[in-house]
A and B are shown apart, each in its own frame.
Chain A
Amino acid sequence: MRSVFLIALCVLALALAAPPQEKGIIINLDNGELCLNSLQCKSSCCLRSSGVSLARCAPQSAENEECSKKSLYGTYYRCTCESGLKCEGDLSIGGSITNTNFGICRDPKSS
């Protein structure tokens, strides 16, 4: 947690030091850049592989790929679906708490 805080501080310092550019430092982040919340990413998915790993912006899941339902955590273990797609899977209370409401992206029209 402390390291995350430290990184956040560094990012903030950099953002204040650097002049505004097209490419974001805090928001509008490209894929592969470190993030703390999905709102920062251009792709609106801030992905982490495990609970302790760092999160990076990643492309959203395409149809038939694994996905997470939208959550309040801000980061995901699987990205949310691209527009027009629905993440079909179980929605459980346990899953909501542990951020593991996984599913598969499907087109609601074609099924």
Chain B
Amino acid sequence: MVGHLAISQCVSTQIISYRTLGLPFLLPGAEVCFENLGCFSDDIPWAGTAERPIAQLPWSPEEIGARFLLFTQQNPEYHQASKQREKRKICQGTAWECTKPIQNHEITTNKEILLASNYNGTRKTRFITHGYIDKGDENWLLDMCKLMLQVEDINCICVDWKKGGRTRYTQSANNIRVVGAQIAYMIQLFKTIYQQRPETVHIIGHSLGAHCAAEAGRRTPNLGRITGLDPAEPYFQGCPALVRLDPSDAKFVDVIHTDALPMIPYLGLGMSQAVGHLDFYPNGGEHMAGCEKNIISQIVDIDGIWEGTRDFVACNHLRSYKYYSDSILNPEGFLGYPCSDGDVFESVSVLFLLGFKAHRGRCFPCAEGACPLMGHHADKFRRPSGAEKMKFYLNTADARPFGRYRYKVSVTITADRALLLTGSMSVALYGMEGNTRQYQVKKGVLNPGNTYEVYIDVEKDVGELTKMKFIWNNSVINPMFPKLGAEKIVLQRGKDRHTYTFCSSETVREDVLQTVPLCTSV
């Protein structure tokens, strides 16, 4: 009797606390079922855990209103304005024309519509799913499709579930389960109608969309690939693999982390947890280059006010799909270096007490075949069998084009007299296919005879190196007109460990370029 009383009290306080919070109280274990998609419960682990405190059943497919926009090389363009007009025009004609799918090739799970569309089962299929608040006909999804259609003949499907995403986050995080099930059902249809194997299907999901892809993958055995673009953190990080993106969801899962700081207190929207076979952390995964502009510069963006406002709200989080889009045409600029964490990857030589020196920029260069390309071409990487959650680091530029190429430079300097100089020195790379900007090697005291080592991420691949140029700058006016030069420069390329050595005996005044050719004999 006492125990019963205690339980009822407990339940009633729970009801009150939910009501006072203004949250819908749902009986645990509630379930909804939809045609072709199965049932969805809000039992543990879907709710009632520390990570997912609020129980919410997903909406019905009708309420979510997911649309599937198909793009192929026959119809790579999308005309939103003409869509409604066209539909009206066609349906004023004969009844036969009314049954025809409308021009922009929105496909559904209806077999007739699928067969009448440009969909081709012999091609690869790539789905793109957006995240919370976003929409499926947003520019980035369409542009990504267009870029992929430039390099390959595929079926590109943008999944639009904006109605299901523009609601409370907790509701949205459950609605993706239905969208994921719809995608899985569609893949199943491809299999029955076109005999297309799920291995040829790839789902790209941004934020909540990444977990949506995971749901589709969980329901589709042998799904080819899932790309998680900064998977959403709240309601997923730390949850069981059933709920979130996980390597078991597809044969190959690659993830790009760009906003990995914790939600509280830093408002980092993405996961820091490694959840794929390959996990990429560009720029360390937490702060993206080019995302710390002042508010006006951020909003008044080169790509327009809308893009700027999006970046103002979630710049780091949105960088993930920008890197992916960029990597489609420029794969080599996104080489990922295997590393245990970002601090180790960053280029710092630490001088400990007693002169013991440890190099921290250790994850360089690439061992033979150990570096995958981040983004679209990540699936070319030959992964050791059974390997999961492999972490890779790289740096990107602050604006498009984002690709960078990493080198290690060691500069040994010499002066005509033994002088104590302060200032900065830089080098530029010259190769068969052009040259780079000047990259700073050291700022501060420049000691002739010393060797300075630094890692640089240059903006272009210059091909085979032919020479280097060295320049230095005196920070204090020196009436002695000192001359300084690079005696020897050792340059190591990250992608293939190739080392070039450059020598010169020349010294130059400040702000004069010194050309350092390849050593003739070593």
Q: In the complex, what residue of chain A is closest to B291 when comparing beta carbons?
A: A32
Partner of A32, one of B293, B295, B438, B473: B293
Asked whether, in the complex, the Cβ of A32 is within 8 Å of the Cβ of B297, the reply is: yes
Q: Residue among A63, A82, A85, A110 with the most chain B CB within 10 A?
A: A63
Asked whether, in the complex, the Cβ of B399 is within 8 Å of the Cβ of A62, the reply is: no
Q: Residues of A contacting B471 with CB < 8 Å?
A: 83-84
Instruction: Tell me whether A54 and B437 are in contact in the complex, defined as CB-CB below 8 angstroms, given that A32-B398, A83-B473 are known contacts.
Output: no
A109 CA / B300 CA spacing, docked (Å): 41
Q: In the complex, what residue of chain A is closest to B294 when comparing beta carbons?
A: A25
Q: Residues of B contacting A32 with CB < 8 Å?
A: 290, 293, 297, 398-399
Quick one: which of B291-305 are within 8 Å of A by CB? 292-297, 300, 302
Q: Report the minimal beta-carbon distance from A13 to chain B, rounded to whole angstroms.
A: 10
Q: Residues of A contacting B513 with CB < 8 Å?
A: 84-85, 107, 109-110
Asked whether, in the complex, the Cβ of B296 is within 8 Å of the Cβ of A34, the reply is: yes
Q: Return the CB mask of B434-456 against A: 1 if under 8 Å, else 0.
A: 11111000000000000000000
Q: Return the CB mask of A33-59 against B: 1 if under 8 Å, else 0.
A: 110000000000000000000101001
Q: In the complex, what residue of chain B is closest to A110 when comparing beta carbons?
A: B515
A96 CA / B511 CA spacing, docked (Å): 25
> Would you call B428 an interface residue if the criterion is a C-beta within 8 Å of the partner chain's C-beta atoms?
yes
**Chain A: interface residue total (CB-CB under 8 A):** 26
Partner of B438, one of A34, A54, A62, A109: A62
A-B contacts, CB under 8 A, total:
68
Q: Report the minimal beta-carbon distance from B12 to chain A, rounded to whole angstroms.
A: 50
Q: Residues of A contacting B295 with CB < 8 Å?
A: 14
A107 CA / B513 CA spacing, docked (Å): 7
> Would you call B277 an interface residue if the criterion is a C-beta within 8 Å of the partner chain's C-beta atoms?
no
Instruction: Tell me whether A31 and B399 are in contact in the complex, defined as CB-CB below 8 angstroms, given that A84-B471, A107-B469 are known contacts.
Output: yes
> Would you call A64 an interface residue if the criterion is a C-beta within 8 Å of the partner chain's C-beta atoms?
yes
Asked whether, in the complex, the Cβ of A82 is within 8 Å of the Cβ of B437, the reply is: yes
Q: In the complex, what residue of chain A is closest to B470 when comparing beta carbons?
A: A84
Q: Report the minimal beta-carbon distance from B234 to chain A, rounded to whole angstroms.
A: 28
Q: Residues of B contacting A85 with CB < 8 Å?
A: 513
Asked whether, in the complex, the Cβ of A33 is within 8 Å of the Cβ of B294, the reply is: yes
A25 CA / B293 CA spacing, docked (Å): 9
Q: Return the CB mask of A4-15 against B: 1 if under 8 Å, else 0.
A: 000100110010
Q: Residues of B contacting A83 with CB < 8 Å?
A: 426, 438, 471, 473, 511
Q: Return the CB mask of B385-426 against A: 1 if under 8 Å, else 0.
A: 000000000000011000000000000000000000000001
**Chain B: interface residue total (CB-CB under 8 A):** 26
Asked whether, in the complex, the Cβ of A33 is within 8 Å of the Cβ of B434, the reply is: no
> Would you call A30 an interface residue if the criterion is a C-beta within 8 Å of the partner chain's C-beta atoms?
yes
Asked whether, in the complex, the Cβ of B398 is within 8 Å of the Cβ of A7, the reply is: no
Asked whether, in the complex, the Cβ of A14 is within 8 Å of the Cβ of B296, the reply is: yes
Q: Residues of A contacting B511 with CB < 8 Å?
A: 83-84
Q: In the complex, what residue of chain A is closest to B397 when comparing beta carbons?
A: A31
Asked whether, in the complex, the Cβ of A62 is within 8 Å of the Cβ of B512, the reply is: no
Asked whether, in the complex, the Cβ of A56 is within 8 Å of the Cβ of B294, the reply is: no
> Would you call A2 an interface residue if the criterion is a C-beta within 8 Å of the partner chain's C-beta atoms?
no
A40 CA / B296 CA spacing, docked (Å): 15
A29 CA / B399 CA spacing, docked (Å): 15
Quick one: which of B504-518 are within 8 Å of A by CB? 511-513, 515
Asked whether, in the complex, the Cβ of B300 is within 8 Å of the Cβ of A54, the reply is: yes
Q: Residue among B295, B297, B430 with the most chain A CB within 10 A?
A: B297
Q: In the complex, what residue of chain A is closest to B399 when comparing beta carbons?
A: A32
Q: Residue among B293, B399, B511 with the most chain A CB within 10 A?
A: B293
Asked whether, in the complex, the Cβ of B435 is within 8 Å of the Cβ of A64, the reply is: yes
Q: Residues of B contacting A30 with CB < 8 Å?
A: 292-293, 398
Q: Residues of B contacting A82 with CB < 8 Å?
A: 428, 437-438
Q: Residues of B contacting A63 with CB < 8 Å?
A: 428, 430, 435, 469
Partner of A64, one of B292, B296, B398, B434: B434
Partner of A84, one of B294, B296, B302, B512: B512
**Listed A/B pairs (11) with beta-carbon separation below 8 Å:** A14-B294, A30-B292, A31-B399, A34-B294, A34-B297, A34-B300, A59-B437, A82-B437, A85-B513, A109-B515, A110-B513
Kindly list 17 other residue pairs between chains A and B, CB separation below 8 angstroms, not including A56-B302, A63-B435.
A10-B296, A11-B296, A14-B295, A14-B296, A23-B292, A30-B292, A30-B293, A32-B290, A32-B297, A33-B293, A34-B296, A34-B297, A62-B437, A63-B430, A84-B469, A84-B511, A110-B513
